[in-house]
Amino acid sequence: MRNRETGFTLIELMIVVAIIAIIASIAIPNLLSARLNANETAAIATLRNLSSAQAQFQAGAKIDVDEDGSGEFGFFGELSGAVAVRGPNGGTLAAIDPPVLSAAFRTVNNSVVTRSGYIFAMYLPDANGVGAAEAANGGADAANLPDPDNCETTWCCYAWPANYRTSGNRVFFVNQQGDVIQTNNQGANQGYSSNSTPPEPDAGFLSPSTDDSIMGVVAVGTIATDGGRWLAVN
């Protein structure tokens, strides 16, 4: 007497595949949405931590280029101890130890830091208040140095999605005032995503007298220079 082989019929396999497809169609969008929300929450927390780090850095006078006793704000590379800090007469001093930011911010590529699906760009003001970007690999750019006096009072940082609608939607901003603000990234001149479409230094400000100035009024609750409405993050 032969043993009868058993197995799934074609119809049964098709039913199983259909059930898996239905479950995936429900679960995958929820997973993507959860990841997107987690990335946005992480970006907000990062900017708040950055605000505290900048305050500590400036209060400790880790940088005092003009040697007037008042500390200046720094770039990611300087805050994280990755590069030498600015010194008097165009020179540099040793990297700070211990740093005020974690080692995760030591990797600066093309003047920005990427973390958890978001890109972060720091700006410090030059003599005209225009936002000077960080050097390509971190720290101050010798060709576009920030102004010592203006750096004692002003800095700002933007965070935008590395991939719009995939890694995040909203764009966030913080400066020396310590309040994180946001925009839905759907304004007239927005749609920020990846390194190809970053916010300009003055994107979150009211129209300044000088293009790209970061020493103007932050546009909270109103339309900014980038055509978007920026609101406080609760």
Q: Is residue 62 part of a domain?
A: no
Mean predicted lDDT score pLDDT of the chain: 92
Reduced to 3 DSSP states, what percent helix, strand and coil does the chain have, rounded to the nearest 5?
25, 20, 55
In a domain, 66, yes or no: no
Q: The tokens of 234 are what?
A: 């609760």
- Per-residue pLDDT reduced to its tens digit, 144-153: 999 999 999 9
Task: Report if residue 93 sits inside a domain.
Answer: no
- Cis, bond preceding 201 (omega within 30 deg of 0): no
83 part of a folded domain: no
The domain containing residue 139 runs over which residues? Answer: 12-56+109-232
Tally of structural domains, the chain: 1
SS3 assignment, position 219:
coil
Residue 162 pLDDT > 90, yes or no? yes
Q: Is residue 147 part of a domain?
A: yes
Q: Is residue 68 part of a domain?
A: no
80 belongs to a structural domain? no
Cα–Cα distance, 10 to 15 (Å, whole number): 9
pLDDT in tens, 57-110: 999 999 999 999 999 999 999 999 999 999 998 899 999 999 999 999 999 999
Q: For position 119, what pLDDT does the model report? A: 98
Would residue 140 count as lying in a domain?
Answer: yes
